[in-house]
Amino acid sequence: MIKRVIEIKKDIDCDDEVELSWFDMQKPNLTAVSNKGVNFIVKAKFTHLHENDILVSEDGYAIKVKRSEDNIYILEFKDALNFAKVAYEVGNRHQPVMIEDLKIVVLDDISLSDIVENAYKNSEINITKTTGYFKANGKAHHSH
């Protein structure tokens, strides 16, 4: 049986946990399976999920949201021009991004595969594929 989440709370006791990726936490409609194997559905109106949210179902079953690590690429640049070009290309694809001084972190997403492939060919860009906690800069990434 699928539990329907009817409320999102904070700081209450919970019965279970679920690990969600950054991308899954942005979805207004989500189906998932908790750590204890409970299937549930969330329809988060006017918001998205955050770490430590408690999802409360119709029967009172409470599931705490935990962040999972995401598959990410870390791109480190030796110069501002290559940095700006890649940042522009990623933004033009409407993809979430973490930006620091001459460093860009993006999710491993098929829509960015050609950008990543071209960056590997550029000796002025150091690329690392890894897992980590992704948090996009600002509030630029949203659905229309």
| Averaged pLDDT, groups of 10, the chain, 144 residues long | 92 96 90 96 84 95 96 98 96 93 96 96 98 81 46
At residue 143, the pLDDT reads 46
56 inside domain: yes
Q: Cα separation of 63 and 80, whole Å?
A: 44
> Are residues 93 and 104 both part of a single domain?
yes
Determine the Cα–Cα distance for residues 88 and 93; give it in Å rounded to an integer: 9
Same domain, 12 and 61: yes
Domain with 36 in it? 3-67
Q: Is residue 143 part of a domain?
A: no
Same domain? 9 vs 29:
yes
One domain, residues 53 and 98: no
Identify whether 96 is part of a domain: yes
Which CATH number characterizes residue 8's domain? 2.60.260.20
Give the residue among 111, 105, 110, 112 at the shortest CA–CA distance from 129: 105
Residue 8 shares a structural domain with residue 63: yes
Domain boundary pick from 23, 38, 67: 67
Give me the number of domains the chain comprises: 2
pTM of the shown model: 0.78
Residue 136, pLDDT score: 87
The whole-number pLDDT of residue 91 equals 92
Query: Within a domain: residue 15?
Result: yes
The residue out of 67, 92, 113 marking a domain boundary is: 67
Are 107 and 127 within one domain? yes
pLDDT in the model for residue 139: 59
Q: Indicate whether 51 belongs to any domain.
A: yes
Rounded to an integer, what distance in angstroms lies between the CA atom of residue 5 and that of residue 60? Answer: 9
Enter the tokens of residue 76: 């480190």
Residue ranges with strand state E in 12-118: 16-20, 29-33, 39-43, 54-57, 62-67, 70-77, 98-100, 103-107
